[in-house]
């Protein structure tokens, strides 16, 4: 693997191989000494043109636990805010000898542009581009589901027969897109539930069922309910009447949560709008995987950086 740009292009074998390496990384995270020497001497640049807390910190922790040198670059306070282009920024990174670039950008396709441009030799990891994809989030979600279902016997497995319902702001969600591709590649069935205004106009090319009745979808007792954040910062119009109305019709409130089977996992990529798309009781329950998702994110990102940056790029030892 040279770059990790989307899950759409990931084969089942490659996805399972990455999740299996992440299992090894998770085992390292349980040791007292969490660090591996694998990427010593390599430089990873975190290039964040959009705000982020957990994703940036997670990539930083992952790179450091592989002993890479990490440079954090956020567009605010950089020459990007003075109008420097992605190309100029990339050429700066190239001159500094970056081996890996983790990029989050408000424009869908920016990581692809960077990877294919020839401006840099580094391996590129997409950490979220516009409303397009967020592959490491989907990988950590798949990892979390697989671990909850299969525990110590997870290695080598996909998600065959697993029923996942993804709820909410699908329209603006790169997390939903990456999950639709990855989870179905791994054998899961994906159902999207949202108000029509928060679904893309055309989802016929997506390998997912679409529904408009949350209670009907939850009545089926899915294995996983994934609640998405209402991305107000991407909304320049009214997509629903008001917050109370949204929570009542589309939120995982106490009543809906109480009707779920105790085996249904409740997921959320964070940051959560508590009381809007998810009630505190659901978010903090033992069925919630929210904190596991964050912890697993480091293991999955370690796996991605390891697969991209170790080996053939230089001294494999």
Near ligand NCD in 209-238, by CB under 6 A: 229, 231
In the complex with ligand NCD, which residue's Cβ is closer, 36 or 275?
275
User: Is 55 annotated as contributing to ligand binding?
Assistant: yes
In the complex with ligand NCD, which residue's Cβ is closer, 69 or 292?
292
**In whole angstroms, how far apart are CA 23 and each of 176, 231, 299?**
23, 31, 7
Tokens found for residue 32? 């007292």
In the complex with ligand NCD, which residue's Cβ is closer, 217 or 231?
231
Task: Find, among 166, 193, 143, the residue nearest to 22 by Cα.
Answer: 143
> If binding is defined by CB under 6 A, does position 144 make contact with ligand NCD?
no
Round the CA-based radius of gyration of the chain to a whole number and report it: 19
Contact 156, 35 (CB under 8 A): no
Measured at CB, which residue is nearest to ligand NCD? 229
> If binding is defined by CB under 6 A, does position 179 make contact with ligand NCD?
no
> If binding is defined by CB under 6 A, does position 65 make contact with ligand NCD?
no
d(CA 112, CA 249): 37
User: Is 104 annotated as contributing to ligand binding?
Assistant: yes
Angle between helices 135-150 and 290-309 (to 10 degrees): 120
In the complex with ligand NCD, which residue's Cβ is closer, 126 or 310?
126
> If binding is defined by CB under 6 A, does position 293 make contact with ligand NCD?
no
> If binding is defined by CB under 6 A, does position 132 make contact with ligand NCD?
no
Determine which helix (DSSP H) or strand (DSSP E) holds 57, and give its type and residue range. Answer: helix 54-65
In the complex with ligand NCD, which residue's Cβ is closer, 38 or 72?
72
> If binding is defined by CB under 6 A, does position 105 make contact with ligand NCD?
no
Near ligand NCD in 262-281, by CB under 6 A: 269-270
User: Is 54 annotated as contributing to ligand binding?
Assistant: yes
d(CA 181, CA 10): 9
**In whole angstroms, how far apart are CA 66 and each of 33, 48, 58?**
12, 20, 13
Contact 146, 154 (CB under 8 A): yes
User: Is 12 annotated as contributing to ligand binding?
Assistant: no
Q: How far is the CB of 93 from ligand NCD (least distance, A)?
A: 22
User: Is 91 annotated as contributing to ligand binding?
Assistant: no
Gap between the terminal Cα atoms of the chain: 18
> If binding is defined by CB under 6 A, does position 299 make contact with ligand NCD?
no
Give the residues lining the site for ligand NCD (CB under 6 A).
Answer: 54-55, 128, 134, 137, 174-175, 229, 231, 269-270
């Amino acid at each position: 693997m040279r770059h990790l740009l989307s899950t759409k292009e990931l084969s089942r074998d490659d996805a399972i191989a990455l999740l299996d390496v992440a299992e090894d990384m998770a085992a390292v995270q349980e040791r007292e000494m969490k660090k591996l020497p694998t990427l010593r001497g390599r430089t990873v640049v975190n290039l964040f043109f959009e705000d982020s807390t957990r994703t940036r910190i997670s990539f930083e922790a992952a790179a450091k636990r592989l002993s890479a040198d990490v440079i954090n670059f956020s567009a605010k306070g950089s020459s990007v805010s003075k109008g420097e282009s992605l190309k100029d920024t990339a050429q700066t990174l190239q001159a500094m000898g970056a081996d890996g670039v983790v990029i989050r950008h408000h424009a869908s396709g920016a990581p692809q542009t960077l990877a294919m441009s020839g401006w840099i030799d580094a391996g590129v990891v997409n950490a979220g581009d516009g409303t397009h994809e967020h592959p490491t989030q989907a990988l950590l979600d798949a990892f979390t589901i697989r671990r909850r279902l299969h525990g110590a016997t997870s290695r080598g497995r996909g998600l065959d027969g697993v029923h996942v319902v993804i709820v909410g702001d699908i329209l603006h969600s790169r997390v939903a897109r990456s999950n639709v591709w990855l989870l179905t590649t791994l054998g899961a069935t994906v159902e999207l539930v949202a108000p029509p205004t928060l679904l893309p106009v055309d989802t016929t090319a997506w390998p997912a069922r679409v529904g408009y009745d949350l209670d009907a979808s939850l009545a089926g007792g899915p294995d996983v309910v994934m609640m998405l954040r209402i991305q107000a910062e991407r909304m320049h119009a009214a997509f629903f009447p008001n917050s109370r109305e949204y929570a009542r019709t589309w939120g995982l409130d106490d009543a809906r949560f109480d009707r779920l089977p105790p085996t249904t996992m409740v997921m959320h990529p964070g940051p959560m709008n508590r009381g809007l798309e998810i009630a505190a009781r659901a978010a903090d329950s033992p069925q919630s995987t929210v904190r596991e998702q964050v912890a697993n994110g480091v293991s999955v990102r370690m796996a991605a950086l390891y697969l991209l940056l170790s080996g053939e790029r230089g001294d494999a030892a």
